[in-house]
């Protein structure tokens, strides 16, 4: 199924409002990141700091997609915009929940919530795949391939070094943050090749 694009002229005031909204979004992102956690505290480990950064970044990406849908509708494939927003925001919430949610609810309840969010996001990913055109599917496939081979090689070398006690072990939480970071960086390569960024 081919994805259709809707073209709509964008006036100068709307463009200016869009840039102002992006600037405000960046300011809000920095403020929230600085006030939710203090990275200078010894209690914030590097893997939690990475998870905070990923969580806020993914939520910000979702907000940017939403803003793009308002300011420049033809830049977002028809039928995928809202799905992309849901996928990004849920991914961000899932990275933040293990550190933030347990301040209000028990770990068991927080984990149940994460499982529910994961299920909804998985459905969202499937819908996004089905609604994407061939080029977008190719980008998704290349991103997954680059991330898989890169992580496979890196994790093997890490595992070998850890087995020989050459380096300190890394928690599964830290490895998950590294995995998502590699995946996000990997998505840039095929996107640039096809002029999508």
Structure tokens at 79: 């039928």
Q: For 135-173, write each residue's pLDDT tens digit.
A: 778 878 888 888 888 889 999 999 999 999 998 888 999
Question: How many domains is the chain partitioned into structurally?
Answer: 2
**Domain termination site, one of 132, 162, 184:** 132
Q: Which residues contact 69 (CB under 8 A, 6 or more apart)?
A: 76, 81, 82
Whether 105 and 177 map to the same domain: the answer is no
Instruction: Give the model's pLDDT for residue 33.
Output: 58
Q: pLDDT band at 34, cuts 50/70/90?
A: low
Phi, psi of 45 (to 5 degrees): -80, 170
> Could you report the per-residue pLDDT of 86-97, keeping only the tens digit for each?
899 999 999 999
Point out the domain boundary residue: 93, 116, 132: 132
Domain hosting residue 95, numbered range: 1-132
The residue behind tokens 């301040």 is 103
SS3 of the chain: CCCCCCCCCCCHHHHHHHHHHHHHHHHHHHHHHHHHCCCCCCCCCHHHHHHHHHHHHHHHHHHHHHHHHHHCHHHCCCCCHHHHHHHHHHHHHHHHHHHHHHHCCCHHHHHHHHHHHHHHHHHHHHHHHHHCCHHHHHHHHHHHHHHHHHHHHHHHHHHHHHHCCCCCCCCHHHHHHHHHHHHHHHHHHHHHHCCCC
Please compute the mean of the pLDDT values over residues 4-32 and round it to a whole number.
58
Average pLDDT over residues 42-67: 84
Mean pLDDT for 113-132 is 90
Are 125 and 33 members of one domain? yes
User: How distant, in Å, are the alpha carbons of 15, 87, 94 from that of 175?
Assistant: 40, 21, 15
Q: Which one has a higher pLDDT value, 197 or 168?
A: 168
**Residues 146, 61 share a domain:** no
- Greater model confidence, 90 or 23: 90
**Same-domain status, 160 and 70:** no
CA distance 10 to 64: 17
Residue whose C-alpha is closest to residue 139's, from 188, 90, 72: 188
Is 124 found in the same domain as 32?
Answer: yes
**Which pLDDT score is estimated for 5?**
39
Same domain for 122 and 138, yes or no, is no
Average pLDDT, the chain: 78
173-185: pLDDT as tens digits: 999 999 999 888 8
Whether 31 shows a pLDDT value over 70: the answer reads: no
Question: Looking at 112, 132, 152, which one is the last position of a domain?
Answer: 132
pLDDT of 10 above 70: no
> What value, to the nearest 5°, has the Cα angle with vertex 82 and ends 81 and 83?
90
Whether 125 and 138 share a structural domain: no
- What's the whole-model pTM score? 0.72
Amino acid 24: pLDDT: 65
What pLDDT, on the 0 to 100 scale, is given for residue 110? 93
């Amino acid at each position: 199924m081919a994805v259709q694009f809707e073209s709509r002229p964008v006036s100068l005031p709307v463009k200016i409002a869009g840039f102002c909204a992006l600037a405000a979004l960046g300011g809000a992102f920095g403020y929230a990141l600085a006030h939710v956690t203090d990275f200078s505290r010894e209690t914030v480990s590097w893997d939690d700091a990475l998870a905070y950064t990923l969580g806020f970044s993914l939520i910000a990406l979702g907000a940017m997609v939403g803003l793009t849908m308002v300011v420049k509708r033809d830049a977002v494939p028809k039928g995928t915009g809202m799905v992309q927003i849901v996928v990004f925001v849920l991914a961000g919430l899932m990275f933040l929940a293990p550190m933030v949610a347990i301040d209000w609810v028990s770990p068991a309840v927080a984990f149940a919530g994460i499982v529910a969010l994961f299920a909804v996001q998985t459905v969202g990913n499937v819908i996004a795949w089905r609604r994407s055109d061939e080029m977008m599917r190719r980008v998704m496939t290349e991103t997954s391939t680059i991330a898989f081979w890169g992580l496979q090689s890196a994790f093997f070398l890490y595992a070998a070094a850890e087995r020989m006690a050459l380096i300190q072990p890394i928690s599964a939480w830290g490895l998950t943050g590294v995995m998502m970071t590699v995946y996000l960086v990997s998505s840039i390569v095929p996107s640039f090749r096809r002029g999508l960024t």
